[in-house]
Amino acid sequence: MTERVKEVLSRQDPALSRATQQDFNEVLRDSLWTIFAFVGVGYTAISFAHLADLNPSHLTVMLPVSISSAVIGFILAYCLRRYSVPARFAHGVLFFAVSILSINITCHAYVTGDPRQLFNLAFVMAGIGLFTLSPLWLAINLASAIALWVVIAVHIATPGSYLDSLFFQMNAFVLSLAAYAVRRSTHRKNIALTKELRARERELEVTLHQMNLQNMAEKQSRAKSEFLANMSHELRTPLNAIIGFAEVMHERLFGDLNSHYTEYADGILNSGRNLLKVVNDILDLSKIETETGDVEIESFDLEEPLTSSLNLARTRCAGRQLQIAYAPGHQTGRIESDRRRLKQILMNLLSNAVKFTPDGGTVTLRTFETPAGQIVFEVSDTGIGMDEEQIQSALEPFWRADSAYATSSGGMGLGLPLAHEYVRRLGGDLEIESAPGNGTCVRFWLSIASPSLRKSA
């Protein structure tokens, strides 16, 4: 699990802990059909009880009341189960259910004149607190129950039954308030947790979507690099043949050529070599991106890659008014690193310096050691230089300076990026100092002893 996902799951949002009255209305709405189903079942049972207990005069009044209450309860339970009423009407519908109970109790009390019916209102009052989640509707329901109790008590209660009933009614009132507070608090916590969970799920979905997009991008990049690697291998075979045949003609191994054919053979040879370098650079880049560009550490004489790179740079600037200088400042004769990669790094940096330095300029290779056991290589020139924005872009693959030098000299913009990546692979680092019109200095350092290898960034 990523750090981002862990952060999403653990973060607390205080705004989610505040449940609204609309949320409470929705909770009550979902349970209304159950309440009316109990009303229907209860008054069906009460109707049969009336048939068994009440005398005929009382039965003629109470039986229609209880049967109609049962029918209303079943009808409303069915409707509320099948159709969803707006949440804002939930407490009003609940008040209607309470009214059915209160009307039945009131009718029974008046018809029978039995003071014991006053105790039934105490049960209704306790139930009001258990099911009501709105303070306004709690007050309305309690006021209605108390008003009915007063009306019935005035007409049928005896002094003894009045006091007993008043005691039960006060206890029911307190119990109703306690039940209301507990249930509202419980639902508030449940609603807050539900909202928080939904928010976490949404954030997690967004995070997972971003991760999927990133994985897809990485797969596409890897596929691109593998394609380039395969194509580079396929291109190198015919290129080597072209270069080989061009070298045969250039060396006149099978006889002389006229001046035109010699010029064409030289053009084919130079173009083939340039194209082969581009293909090799792309192949190296694809290996780095797919993490297959392994390095081979060995102990070797440092002068060999330095001298070889300098000779190649002098060859490439032949015919130009350009000076290649070498200022060795290192004492160590041998180094543990990758000979081939170090030579490639130096060749890329020197080639770039030669490319962007006009005639009459100087390209200098310097070396020196540090007390930390590192050897520093500097390739500086007196060329066109770069500004800060160009320095940042110079390490991006395929970036080319917008100048006549880049256009005339060709190249794919892979020299610096490849050098940077291989320096990092060898446990070192690379930095660029430059200013427009004041030349460029590219500095990198490597460990003299066996380096700590790193993967590409």
Q: Is 322 found in the same domain as 257?
A: no
Distance CA(401)–CA(353), nearest Å, equals 13
Residues 81-128 pLDDT 10s: 888 888 888 888 888 888 888 888 888 888 878 777 778 888 888 888
Same-domain pairing of 303 and 323:
yes
Burial class (CB in 10 A: 0-12, 13-18, 19+), 323: middle
Of all residues in the chain, the percent with pLDDT exceeding 90 is 13
Q: Are 109 and 152 in contact (CB under 8 A)?
A: yes
**Residue 218 within any structural domain of the chain:** no
Assess if residue 157 is contained within a domain.
yes
Based on the domain organization, do 228 and 182 belong to the same domain? Answer: no
pLDDT at residue 350, as a whole number: 92
pLDDT digits (tens, 9 = 90+) for 19-75: 677 777 777 788 888 888 988 898 899 888 888 888 888 888 888 888 998 999 899
Kindly state whether residues 315 and 442 are assigned to the same domain.
yes
**Residue 215 domain-assigned (yes or no):** no
Q: Beta strands 362-369 and 334-337: pairing type? A: unpaired
Sequence-distant (6+) residues with CB within 8 A of 173 are: 125, 142, 146
> For 24-37, how does the pLDDT look when each residue is reduced to its tens digit (9 = 90+)?
777 778 888 888 89
- Please give the Cα distance from 295 to 447 (Å, whole number): 15
Whether residues 381 and 255 share a domain: the answer is no
Whether residue 430 lies inside any domain: the answer is yes
Count of structural domains within the chain: 3
Going by the DSSP 8-state scheme, the letter that residue 399 receives in this structure is: -
pLDDT of residue 380: 94
Whether residue 230 is found in the same domain as residue 196: no
Last residue of a domain, which of 289, 315, 344? 289
The strand pair at 323-327 and 362-369 is best described as parallel
- Shared-domain flag, residues 278 and 327: no
DSSP 87: G
pLDDT at 127: 83
Last residue of a domain, one of 236, 257, 289: 289
Same domain, 148 and 23: yes
- 139 plus 42 within the same structural domain: yes
What per-residue confidence (pLDDT) applies to 407? 46
Q: How far apart are CA 218 and CA 213, in angstroms?
A: 9
Q: What is the pLDDT of residue 444?
A: 94
pLDDT digits (tens, 9 = 90+) for 291-307: 545 678 889 999 999 99
Instruction: Look at residue 392 and tell me if it is in a domain.
Output: yes
Q: Domain containing 246: what range? A: 223-289
pLDDT for residue 377:
95
Q: How far apart are CA 181 and CA 147, in angstroms?
A: 23
C-beta of residue 361 within 8 angstroms of C-beta of residue 382: yes
CATH number at residue 327: 3.30.565.10
Residue 122 falls within a domain, yes or no? yes
Q: Are residues 53 and 146 in the same domain?
A: yes
Q: What is the pLDDT of residue 291?
A: 54
Shared domain check, 380 and 427 = yes
Number of H helices, E strands in the chain: 13, 7
Output phi, psi for 412, to 5 deg.
-105, 0
230 domain residue, yes or no? yes
Based on the fold, state whether residues 169 and 61 are members of the same structural domain: yes
Ranges of residues in the chain with a pLDDT under 50 are 1-2, 4-17, 292, 407-408, 457
Domain boundary among 205, 232, 249: 205
- The confidence score (pLDDT) of residue 285 equals 65
455 assigned to some structural domain? no
What pLDDT score does 176 carry? 87
The whole-model pTM stands at: 0.47
CA–CA separation, 201 and 223 (whole Å)? 32
